[in-house]
Amino acid sequence: MKTLLAMITLIIISVGQVSAQQISAGAPSVVPISPTKVKKVFKYSARFICVNPSPFLASGAYQTDIGIHNPQDNNVSFDKKALVTQTEDVEIGPISLPVHVSLSPDAGIHIDCGHIVTEFFLNIPSANVITGFVVISSPQELDVTAAYTAVFVSSGT
């Protein structure tokens, strides 16, 4: 149990640069996601963790919320997809088909665990923990952030 809890804490800390005090207090950590430019396309890779209730994890709620904002003066069309990561000794996880999105100037959307499971992975087997990346590919720069929250619930009364 401690190993899995440490793994989840490590994922959240390494991605969000969150202190242990913030995690235990349930304070969200918002992290800007910088793009990598590949052949005139801005690619943003935002890490996610989605946790269903599990006897192996500390009781609580684990949330990832990825925000996308169009700061441009014109509409921006882009593709978003998700991929599931696994340990090196396991077969490569599924990669979704891209979903095309268009945002008007100063508009924004968000992607949370519910969107990741229902929009990208309709046929993924039920799992207690799903980790991976949402990848956004855009011809123009966007504002992309990821917010990570873990709230632990005491099982005692």
* Percent above pLDDT 70 for the chain: 67
Determine whether domain 2-152 maps to CATH 2.60.290.11: yes
pLDDT (tens digit per residue) in 17-38: 444 444 445 567 889 999 999 9
Q: How would DSSP label each residue in the chain? A: -HHHHHHHHHHHHHHH---HHHHHHT--EEEE---EEETTEEEEEEEEEEE---TTS-SEEEEEEEEEE--SSS-EEEEEEEEE---TTSPPPPBPPPEEEEE-TT-EEEEEHHHIIIII-TTPPP-SEEEEEEEEEESS--EEEEEEEEEE--S--
Mean pLDDT for the chain? Answer: 78
Question: In the prediction, which pLDDT does 39 show?
Answer: 95
pLDDT tops 60 at residue 66: yes
